[in-house]
Structure 1
Amino acid sequence: MKTIKLLSTVLAVAIVAIATAVEKPKMSVVPLTADRAIVSIQNDNAALFELSIHAENGDLVYYKQSTKPLNNYQKVFDFKALENGSYTMHLKVNDTRLSKDFSVASNGIEIGESKLRFDPFFNYTEGVLKLSYLNFDEESYNLAIYDEKGLVYESKLGKEFNLTSGYDLSRLTKGKYDVVLSSYNNEFTYSLEK
């Protein structure tokens, strides 16, 4: 399987499409007392969202998924049941992810900076798989393609900020395939049928 060199105009169009098609949610966390904070979420377009809080070790301590599309959401969180330590609040709206670190201590809640991330863009047309991902954290990423029997292809993509690749899949047999883009901290899956 050969990697296809993508033209810079195709890359520019893909990056512009990603940047203009994504949601731009806003999330604020404002401490009210030493153990309570108000979380406000706003989005220009009504959308389903997922809100979760993970402990530093990765354990899930809170999860909420909206049942209908919303433009805004607000809730007062009581963190007194949480152990002192570091946590991350994650908001997912469509292909956009917003995270905010915070810490809980006996003297209060400290709120960190927000990080905005976007899911990768995959496109499969006429036997060619195209991939574009803005790697803000510059993690080392790998790409793997699986069929029903197992691994078909694997490639190291590196840790550059702008990961873009194209793959000629025309020689693969007809069937269903899963494309997995993964790093140590993240995994994204794209399914296609040939």
Structure 2
Amino acid sequence: VENRGSLEKWLSEVERQEVIYPKNYIKLRHLENHDQNRIASYFDDCNKLINLTALNFFLRGMPFVYAGQEYLNDNRPDLFEYDPVDYETGFNISPLITRFAKIHEDELITSGNLFFLEIKDNPIIKYENKTHAIIGFFKLGSESVVNSYLKDGVYQNLIDDSNIVVKDGKLELNSGPIIIKVGIEAIK
């Protein structure tokens, strides 16, 4: 954001950290803090904000939500003046953040092998061990059909329990993020 780099560059750095940091590292992850503009001030599309938040929670480490981020506030708070959080933005993604946090507790995310399958427009990230895998698909680009890295079938999105159809190795990524957990035999 703010032309400091691309999504691809950021995820490449996250991938590099996986290699250079000790196995037991815990990285603090945030999209906002007190000394930068709100993430919502850069996006007109709330679905992209939801996908970016889901991605932040899907990465290994400790995700933070900053004072009103869950209401998609775009006003940068003033630390030195009374500046209450606006709870009347018309948005409240707290229930989604609760789901993201629950998924984040999965053992695969904390200790599985991490693979960045796609790091450009629509990031696709996979964690796996010998028996299971969890894959996250995040809609930040314009393409709506993406490689699934899964065998054809119907899978459950852990975020909203919806059915996700994989056909010819592809799935539709329309607006919201998708996170699927499978047995390793379902990986293509």
Both proteins in one fold, TM over 0.5: no
Higher strand share: 1
TM range (shorter): under 0.3
Structure number with bigger Rg: 1
Q: TM-score, normalised by structure 2?
A: 0.27
